[in-house]
Copies of this chain bind each other. A is one copy, B any other.
């Protein structure tokens, strides 16, 4: 019977719709070089940066390529006063935010506060030259600062050997820069894609929570504190040294927090007054400093920042340490914080660009971040990226180009040259208040609820990151969450959904019978839609699953009193197949052939058709006449063949 129908197949092919045009193009095959090239291009150059270069003369092409790598060459020639007035305003605004943030985050990392200011001077200049985002404001970030500190402190604490501690930070920034540049050059931006939205939401929330808790030290004016980051250690440490609590600090802290929160609230109510909330941290620093100076705060329970040296960044290139015993820590700190910084910087750049309908090139951004971190590590800066808070302020202040970073950088330069000593009186509690208010917004409870509603597994991934960070360490939280994401990704592809298709009444469309309960199945024919991709991880599963569908359908058919004779496999959604996948199709064919069931394929896509033709599956095993363009065509052909075979059977009887 099987071969019988096979012969008939030839005659009926093309019955379905309309002649030759509606057949599967089996001869479409890309030459080897073209196929490899197009695969490589899709993998590493999905954005095809040099498209449209073909028509240009060589000089213009070189200039275009240079402009591609140095985006400032694109905007600088057309830059004028009209744009500068906006960038000037934005630059001054972010500079007022950069000073308190720079000092706070440096203290968060247990670094000398001046390093925070150094880090806001050199990197923004380099980003302005190499960066492609018009909205990003460069600076240090809280989460990466704490992550760096928690890794470096496994090697040496800031109290034990402050010099070595600092050198490890510079070295880590150097490796971060190398790593980011390499990722960009080799177009491996997809590594950053492995930090899913859920992981980042959970990780950021958890980090914000522990950073807020750590501010208890500053808010209570304490001197001793744990270097660990988990909630248990932090709370224990807070109460162990409760004799150090200073009520003066606490009162001042609460006032500052209330002031900052109300300025944030104002911004929500009256978006036009965004600049109030933007300069509020700077005002807190100034007011706090004046207050501490007047009441001699450090003698009355309000610890202050202490001496800040005048002068620009000293060179730190000779301080990088490549001794093997420190290398491992520096490399680990550099890579982990580098990935985190990239994820934050690129996400921020992209989401702001989207509002203005601009494009951000992830790989180009990585190179820019990399260059600024390498240069930073030579000039006493630690890790920098594009923090969300500062970039959002930059955006709202109306920045037009990366020139706003240059303005900020010049402001910081003036501060370093002339005003740094004035910040000596900044109360630590003011810095803690600024950090607390900045971090509160990062715990996105609404987003957690949304995740819980939409996707329980994503919610788990997010919670693993959150709980891991809060109760264990940042590295554990991050890696457990990424690990879970990858396991889910592999489960996704190891169990591609297969479904049975039925015809939807009144149309020639075939759809999942589970999704459309009214869809009717076709007597004697089983139509299955296969999930994608088909390859070694899921070939075994798919074989079992297809055979089980067939067995179930055979039982149904027998109960109605006829045989299952055709199985139609819809490959329309299958984007790729490998050698194990083709082997699986062969095995299914052999298995069904023995039960006298014929297989028809419908709508294989380009790559799949190529593989099936090359491996001889279509020509030698299935027969070209059993490949159809649509499910409808296949089923029409099967029905026709069924009628022919039945009438033959009746003739013989």
Contact indicator A536/B576 (Cβ below 8 Å) = no
Q: How far is the CA of A48 from the CA of B357 in the complex (A)?
A: 50
- The 23 sampled A-B contact pairs (Cβ below 8 Å) are A18-B505, A21-B518, A22-B507, A190-B494, A190-B537, A193-B536, A193-B539, A193-B540, A195-B536, A196-B536, A196-B537, A196-B579, A354-B587, A455-B614, A489-B535, A489-B536, A492-B576, A508-B508, A509-B629, A512-B606, A514-B606, A532-B573, A573-B575
What 4 A-B pairs are tightest by C-beta distance, nearest first? A573-B573, A196-B536, A18-B506, A17-B507
**A479 interfacial by beta-carbon distance below 8 Å:** no
**A64 interfacial by beta-carbon distance below 8 Å:** no
Q: How far is the CA of A199 from the CA of B580 in the complex (A)?
A: 10
**A647 interfacial by beta-carbon distance below 8 Å:** no
Looking at the complex, which of A305-313, A389-397, A589-597 is the stretch in contact with chain B? A589-597
Q: How far is the CA of A547 from the CA of B47 in the complex (A)?
A: 9
Looking at the complex, which of A159-167, A220-228, A446-454 is the stretch in contact with chain B? A446-454
Chain B residues whose C-beta falls within 8 Å of the C-beta of A605 in the assembled complex: 497, 499, 512, 515
Q: How far is the CA of A269 from the CA of B495 in the complex (A)?
A: 43
Chain B residues whose C-beta falls within 8 Å of the C-beta of A537 in the assembled complex: 190, 193-194, 196, 489
**A43 interfacial by beta-carbon distance below 8 Å:** yes
| Contact size range, A | 35 or more
- With A21-B506, A25-B515 as given contacts, are A190 and B541 in contact (CB-CB < 8 Å)? yes
Contact indicator A504/B535 (Cβ below 8 Å) = no
**A630 interfacial by beta-carbon distance below 8 Å:** yes
Partner of A578, one of B192, B196, B538, B611: B196
- The residues of A with any CB-CB pair to B shorter than 8 Å are 17-19, 21-22, 25, 28, 32, 36, 42-43, 46-48, 189-190, 192-199, 354, 357, 359, 362, 450-451, 453-458, 485, 488-497, 499, 504-509, 511-512, 514-518, 531-533, 535-541, 544-545, 547-548, 572-576, 578-580, 582-583, 587, 590-591, 594-595, 603, 605-607, 609, 611, 614-615, 629-630
Residue of B nearest to A47 (CB): B544
Contact indicator B453/A614 (Cβ below 8 Å) = yes
- With A504-B21, A512-B606, A536-B198 as given contacts, are A573 and B576 in contact (CB-CB < 8 Å)? no
Q: Is the contact region of chain A dominated by helix, strand, or loop, or is it mixed?
A: helix
- With A193-B539, A454-B611, A509-B630 as given contacts, are A590 and B493 in contact (CB-CB < 8 Å)? no
Residue of B nearest to A603 (CB): B511
Q: How far is the CA of A476 from the CA of B517 in the complex (A)?
A: 52
- With A454-B614, A494-B193 as given contacts, are A17 and B506 in contact (CB-CB < 8 Å)? yes
